[in-house]
Each structure stands twice: as C-alpha cells, then as structure tokens.
Copies of this chain bind each other. A is one copy, B any other.
Amino acid sequence: MTVSIVEMSPRDGLQNEEKVLSTEAKVELVSRAVRAGVRRVEVTSFVNPRRVPQMADADELMTALPRFDGVRYAGLVMNERGLDRALAAGVDEIDVVVVATDTFCTRNQGMTTAQACETAASLVAAARAAGVFTTVTIGASFGCPFEGEVPLGRLREVLRRVTDTGPDELALADTIGVAVPSGITERLALAREVAGPDLPLRLHLHDTRHTGVANAVAAVEAGVSTLDASIGGAGGCPFAPAATGNVATEDLVYLFGRMGVGTDLDLDETIAAAGWLEEQLETRLPSALLRAGGFPTA
C-alpha cells in the first residue's frame, strides 16, 4: 500500500499566511512539490479576492502553471461564479466545501450546511458535465470552533446529503485540528457506511494539537490512504480561530516511509521545498522534519 498525498500548501497553506506570495513564487512552490513526487495539488481557490486576498491571482496562476504528465491541479470553489472561473482556468479537479455546522458554514461561506449541500450538488453536476473530477470536503467533521462537538448524528446527516450530491470523492476535514485517532476511526467508518463501499474517501488533517500524524496513521489503518498535507505545515483557516496549518507533507513522508508504507514522495526534496517556502514566507513553519532531518541519514 502507498499513501497518496494531496498537496495543500498553495491553497490551504498560503491562504492564512500573512505574506502574500507572488504568482511566480506560487509556480515555483507547485513545481517543487511536483519535483518531490506530488501528483495532486490544490493550487488555489476561486473565491472572493476581498475575503481571501492571498488567492486573488487564481486565474493568472492557472495560466502561469506549467503542466506535468500525470499531475492534476485542483481549485477550491464555493459557488457558481467560482466554478465558472475554475473551469475557464482549466482545473482538473474542483474541491467543494460544505461545513458540518451551520454557524461555521455561515461564517465560512455565507450559507447554512443544508444550503451548502444544495450548492454543492449543482456545482458537482456542472463540473461533471465539463469532465472535471469532483471532491466534496466536509469541513469541521471532527469539531467546530463555534458549536463545539459535532454529534455523530449530525455528521451522518451531512454525509448523506453530500453523498447524494454525487461527487467522485468525499473528504472529511479536521479543519481546526481537534481530532484524535479514535475519532478518526469512528468517523471514517461512519463515512464508509453512509457513502457505501465504492466512493473514494480522503482525509484533511491539521496538526493544531499535535495529533495530525497519529490521525494519519489511524486513517491508513482504517483503509483511507488519500491524505491532504501541506509542505512545511504552512497555513490554517482565516475563518477558524486558533487554527494552524495542515499536517506537514514532509512529516508524513518520513512517517510512512519509515513505516514501510511509502508515499512516492522524496523526503529530501520535500524538506528542501519546505525550507524554500519558509524563506519565502519569512516565518517559522511548524514542520518537524525541516528542523530534524530524516533518519537514518546515511
């Protein structure tokens, strides 16, 4: 078995960093990720640039990005206008977000969870008609910064609605980094039950409370081997208090490499990309491997 990493740094990583990278720097980041072995990259989000100024160059970025064999570029979209832009820009995948709680969903995208599911259904249908791969991500699946615990019954209902939108892939997101391995096991089992045996599942982890790596292990043990991660552990969520970055890509590459599972990524190249990104962002990224280096070294 191999873990498949979806690289989040250009989107989830950069959208919450203070420094806004140039389009040219984003192209370099994506190219470095691809050189490290990444095959799916969420490169940007097609959202209101006044709300997320870090992503204002979404259209130009897609134009500027070189294409590599077998590499797919995804864009996050939240509404019809975003979808139109994403399709015009030539994305290979769209990632549509539905937040599991009404309070957070309203703050994040100005609609209730039920409304977001309806929107997701039309976005998925339109993207599919255009031949574009579709993922629906359920944000705050493991806890909400405003409502606290997300009851299993609530998640089941959202899972049912999201499954009904007919995506090619369904992702659960621990947006604020509160999940623990037992919760990962429980909620991925629930997702599998509701979504049925054939829909590919994916997990989006943040390492806010240092459980990200343990949660990744639990996911793989539960049979979910498509994991979101961000080079350097960059990022967070501008609409979630105290959120920090995704679990660092290089931390997962080390972990799964040493466990004999593998990720098809090169650890040294990934660490080098994290070091480069840290220089660009002029901040200290939370990556462990960037500080410690791999093992054994010889």
Contacts and interface: CB of A to CB of B under 8 A. Distances in A.
A290 to B, nearest CB: 10
Nearest to A221: B181
Given A181-B217, A217-B214, A295 B255 contact: no
A88 interface: no
29 contacts: A143-B295, A148-B296, A148-B297, A149-B296, A180-B255, A181-B217, A182-B260, A207-B210, A207-B288, A208-B291, A209-B251, A209-B254, A209-B255, A209-B288, A209-B289, A210-B248, A210-B251, A210-B255, A210-B289, A211-B213, A211-B254, A213-B213, A213-B214, A214-B214, A214-B217, A214-B255, A217-B217, A242-B292, A244-B291
Contacts of A129: none
A178 interface: yes
Contacts of A295: 143, 148, 176, 178, 209
A24 B33 CA distance: 50
Contacts of A298: 148
Copies of this chain per assembly:
2
Interface in A208-255: 208-214, 216-218, 242, 244, 248, 251, 254-255
A259 B143 contact: no
Nearest to A257: B180
A154 interface: no
Of A211, A248, A289, A298, most buried by chain B (CB within 10 Å of CB) is A211
Contacts of A110: none
Contacts of A131: none
A26 B215 CA distance: 35
Interface in A257-278: 258-260
